[in-house]
Amino acid sequence: MSRHQAYRNYDYENDLDEFEGDDGIEDEEELSPEDRAQMDVGTAQVRTALGTESSKVTTQQIQEALWHYYYDIDKSVTYLTTKFIVPLSKKKGARKGEAREQHVSHASFFDDMPWLNVSKDRQTIFIEPLRNRGGLLGGASTPSKMSKLQALAAARKKKADDQKSEEKLRRVTQHLGNLSTAPELPESTKENVRPLCPSPGEVEGLTGAGKTIIPERASFEQVQVSDKRLQDQPEIANQLVQPLPVTASSPLLVATPSSFARALLRPTTSSAASSPKTYSFPYMNVTSSSTDAFSAPSPDDVVLKAQSQASSKKAAAPATKKKADPGAKSAEATTDGVNSLRIDDAPLPKSKNLDVLKEFQKTQSKKSASFVVVGHVDAGKSTLMGRLLLDLDVVDQRTIQKYRKEAESIGKSSFALAWVLDQRSEERSRGVTIDIATNKFETDTTSFTILDAPGHRDFIPNMIAGASQADFAILVVDATTGAFEAGLKGQTREHSLLLRSMGVSRIIVAINKLDTVGWSQTRFDEISQQVSGFLSATGFQLKNVSFVPVSGLLGDNIVRRSTDAAAGWYDGKTLVEELESSEPMARALHKPLRLTISEVYRSTQSPITISGRIDAGSLQAGDALLVQPSGEKAYVKSLELDQEPVDWAVAGQNVVIHLSNIDPIHIRVGDIICDTKHPIACIDTFTVKILAFDILMPMQVDVHRGRLHAAGQIVEMPALLDKVKGTVTKKKPRIVKPGSVARVVVKMGTKVPLEAGQRVVLRSGGDTVAAGLLE
């Protein structure tokens, strides 16, 4: 495949012409013999696919299309059909149809719309309600008659309301008594001084010379000393609501209002044509001000003064004032809160100073391995794992029966087994596994951890997290006719590529649902062959790949051998036997500690408990650890393995760690716990050797490593590499084609804990575009 083809395939010719010069199809020099041969085969295939229509296109058009679509026959045929064949027939048809179009009736225009073709039996029948319900629902103007009981309740409520408003009125009047102006006011002025809100009787006609101006709409209901604190401190309340003295000789003088103001405020007298006019505020509950509005302290000043008085009083007599002063109370509460936020300064946990590796060698009786289950959505992964756990007696029949009943009640009876793994109700109702549910089981020789990876496309990041922890993988393939082919085009391929890039080298292929094809050996062989070819092309060694024909639903060849006579031809291992014969990956026991946090939570043991798989090294209770990227130190208070307290844990184990002496804000899912003496560095730029799944160029990418992910950008592509030898085949390529191996430099927006030897996945627009190893 020439470089030019890849460019054309991805429609980058405009950009690339600039760099590469014009290298179109007519430039025969560019076609390698391999290309020429492929072009000839492609041309013939396109002609066959076009059938009788093939005469409508020229060979050059076909070859241009093949060139453009990188020998993709389907795409080329679609392009040629839409570009050259359909337009022709459309043009002919268009002329014929023109006359007809004018006669299309309006009724027939909607003929193909589904709502016109709803059969009678499926149409809704509206049943009239027996009686009007009143209000919005019934739409009747008169509500239905009240029952006696309702009438009694309504009367009681009315009485209580009346009592409440009387009480309110009494309280307000009492406050108003306090609202008199300062006592030093001369007697003559006093008669013109009015409280903030007069009695309703006084309101009418209170304008003009000699009268105090009162807001038209003001009423007693509108004046409420609602603030609880003010009710508690009447002296402040009085100051706050004290009205400004308004005298008869000083009516409100205002400039001629704008039209907006006129719309907003209405004149209080219709006859007052002469200026100055007085205006009331019908739409706002405000008081008119006097001419000398700034003679008294502003409300803010009053509050500030009151506060400073309160605080000085508190300082003078803190013990006696405590109860009466709600401000003091809240300050105290805040101090308490701050105290409770103090970093845990508990004594450091003690260490037993064990030689962990020696302890590990002593106790190692059983192998332990974790595996990931991948495959296309609906391939039957969860059902298969549910069956495995059921047949190994990890879950009992009663639980399965319960799930069966629940599943039947929502019409998905076949999901009962899958629910063993899909434990969360959200997953159940969707029928899709969306998180790594960690399930454990043991056989005579090995203890296994299932990291169930989801099959749904959106959940690939979870699968990456699962795959990065797995020793090996079970690839579930749906043998149902058509389903395998669809799966291979879809997630089966992407998952296998991901597995390889995440460092998984052993795969057990469970060819599932063979019951649906009558245990056909031919189908099994056909699928095995195709998957083998594909996996070896992806980089798996076939000695590490095995195939088992199974039925997850019925349990054949999973723990027990199939008893179906039609499956008699298979005498290989069952799935469990294959699992047991899989060697766990060598553990990095002697390396510095590295653990990627997969969960952070609060437990009875500690306010900060984390869990995750130890990628490298070991740890024991009492150890000091470093959390990256926060760089904070923490101590191991205690440890748990499989819900049992332990003193130590080593690489490869999924451990729960109760931490102490660290604030939870410094720990997040995806962070790395490491050795304090050999900490992992936080970097924002790294070089990675990747396998491209899609076309790569300097572009935005999301960097995933286990549960960690960060936004980044490919900033440089120093070299294309030989897939097998890893030698440089081309320096500074402008793009990297799918399937190629390259060295690229990625820069991230933030510093994250990453180091050489780790595997990362690059994603873009929701698709995995590359995966590889940090250099």
Residues at the interface with ligand GDP (CB under 6 A) = 375, 377-383, 414, 418, 431, 433, 455, 512-513, 515-516, 551-553
CB of 414 to ligand GDP, least distance (A): 3
Shortest approach of ligand GDP to residue 462 CB, angstroms?
13
Nearest distance from C-beta of residue 571 to ligand GDP, angstroms: 20
The end-to-end CA distance of the chain, in Å, is 29
Contact 593, 616 (CB under 8 A): yes
Q: Please say which residue, 459 or 472, places its beta carbon nearer to ligand GDP.
A: 459
Largest CA distance in the chain: 119
CB-CB neighbours of 751 under 10 Å: 14
Instruction: Please give the Cα distance from 225 to 239 (Å, whole number).
Output: 12
Smallest distance, ligand GDP to C-beta of residue 501, A: 22
Give the CA distances from residue 54 to residues 66, 78, 80, 370, 553, in Å, rounded to whole numbers and listed in that order.
Answer: 14, 12, 9, 55, 48
For ligand GDP, which is the closer residue by CB, 387 or 704? Answer: 387
Least distance between ligand GDP and beta carbon 399 (Å): 17
Nearer to ligand GDP, 418 or 657 (CB): 418
Bridge partner list, 645: 640
- In the complex with ligand GDP, the residue whose CB is nearer, 233 or 439, is 439
| C-beta of residue 562 within 8 angstroms of C-beta of residue 393 | no
| Smallest distance from ligand GDP to CB 394, Å | 17
Smallest distance, Å, CB 552 to ligand GDP?
4
Give the CB-side neighbour count of residue 636, counting CA atoms within 13 A. Answer: 28
Q: Closest approach of Cβ 595 to ligand GDP, in Å?
A: 29
Residue 229 Cβ vs ligand GDP, minimum distance, rounded to whole Å: 60
User: Distance between CA atoms of 726 and 643, rounded to whole angstroms?
Assistant: 44
Other residues' Cβ atoms within 10 Å of the Cβ of residue 733 = 20
**Residue pointed to by tokens 């004018």:** 102
Q: How far apart are CA 214 and CA 585, in angstroms?
A: 88
Nearer to ligand GDP, 462 or 551 (CB): 551
Smallest Cα–Cα separation from 475: which of 415, 526, 547? 547
- Reported for 480-489, long-range contacts at CB under 8 A and 24+ positions apart, including other chains, are 480/513, 480/516, 480/517, 481/517, 481/523, 483/376, 483/378, 483/379, 483/513, 484/527, 484/530, 486/376, 487/375, 487/376, 487/379, 488/530, 488/531, 488/534
DSSP secondary structure string for all residues of 249-284: T-PPP-PPPPHHHHHHS-BS-SS--SSSP-B--TTS
**Based on CB atoms, which residue is closest to ligand GDP, 282 or 518?**
518
Q: Which is nearer to ligand GDP, 465 or 608 (CB)?
A: 465
Instruction: Considering the complex, state which of residue 528 and residue 611 has its C-beta at the smaller distance from ligand GDP.
Output: 528
Find out whether 248 and 311 touch, Cβ atoms under 8 Å: no
Residue 603, number of CB atoms within 10 A of its CB: 13
Nearer to ligand GDP, 495 or 587 (CB): 495
* Residue whose CB is less far from ligand GDP, 552 or 733: 552
Query: What is the nearest approach in angstroms of ligand GDP to the Cβ of residue 450?
Result: 12
The DSSP code sequence of 376-407 is STTSSHHHHHHHHHHHTTSS-HHHHHHHHHHH
Pairing outcome for strands 367-375 and 446-452: parallel
User: Which residue lies nearer to ligand GDP by CB, 417 or 659?
Assistant: 417
Cβ of residue 556: shortest distance to ligand GDP, in angstroms?
A: 8
